[in-house]
Amino acid sequence: MFEVVFLDRATLAEQIQFKKLAPNSTYIEYSQTLNEQTVDRLKNATIAITNKVILDAKILSQLPQLKCICVAATGFNIIDLQYCKQKNITVTNITNYAKHTVSEHVFMLMLCLTKQLKSYERTLKENAWQKSKQFCYFTSPIHLLKGKTLGLIGTGEIAKQTAKIASAFAMKVNFYSPSNRHSVDQKTCVDLNTILSTSDIISIHCPLNKDTESLISEKELLMMKKNCILINTARGPIVDSFALINALQNKTIGAAGLDVLPTEPPHINDIAMQNLMLDNLIITPHIAWASIEAMQILADQLIDKVNAFLTNSLKAQDNLSTL
């Protein structure tokens, strides 16, 4: 009998349904799991499912029976991959489930910021339009996306889908590859300096690793256009929050839309949360990936990967029993 344990089921909406697991397996799920609870909850597990619960070498070394880790997300940064390779622990992740929902979220942030939605909503709450003497009320300037240059940091499926939507808005698109890819869909990648200095809007779509942590800090923000909009739906630590808020306050750049922060959930005194009142800053609580449709695709793919491992394990046991 194989035990499958989902450590943080609450990271998926309650209405998401799971397929049946392969036979000869038991399933246990926990809404959330604290770091100090992980080892005890996985002590009999063959397969661990985790979205955000960290499985590092210290924890994994106490779980010799663990044979497979299924990450209920795309990013591997919560798993010690080197340890897993050494101990022959299979690690899987979810791919291509969120390219449409994240790219749509990017454009939601982009449109809200270029059309000054937050600013105009505030003026309505202040009764400014209601007290004006004409049919329209001008405060903050609004801009078209048409003709603007979109710089994409990253070359994966989400970045490519974002580029497709941008083409419908008649935008020019450039890619920068932190992993040094030379081209995307026959389009030559440019260097980071070109992305920073020529883009009207920059959207981040790369994984978090040692090369991308603090990729956007004070130096990079100073290279951007004064009216540049920065969008981050990837991982929080890729952008230096202190440098970004300083740039927004000083109008070094035009605006920012964030779906991720360095620490999640953020502390009450997080510098970004302390500046939510800024008209040129929009923050959403890490939900770009979380449409119901995308979560169901994730759940289906997740159980397919679990079942594939279980099926192979059962076949291996059957082969041993016939020897």
- List residues with catalytic annotation: 235, 264, 286
Give whole-number Cα distances, 8 to 22, 30, 122, 251, 285, in Å: 21, 6, 37, 40, 17
List, in sequence order, the alpha helices (H) in the chain.
38-41, 57-60, 81-86, 99-114, 117-125, 157-168, 192-198, 218-223, 241-249, 292-321
**One-letter-per-residue 3-state SS of 191-232:** CHHHHHHHCCEEEECCCCCCCCCCCECHHHHHHCCCCCEEEE
CB within 8 Å of 64: residues ≥ 6 apart: none
Contacts 24+ apart (CB under 8 A), 187-195: 189/155, 192/153, 192/220, 193/223, 194/151, 195/151, 195/152, 195/153
Using only the alpha carbons of the chain, give its radius of gyration: 23
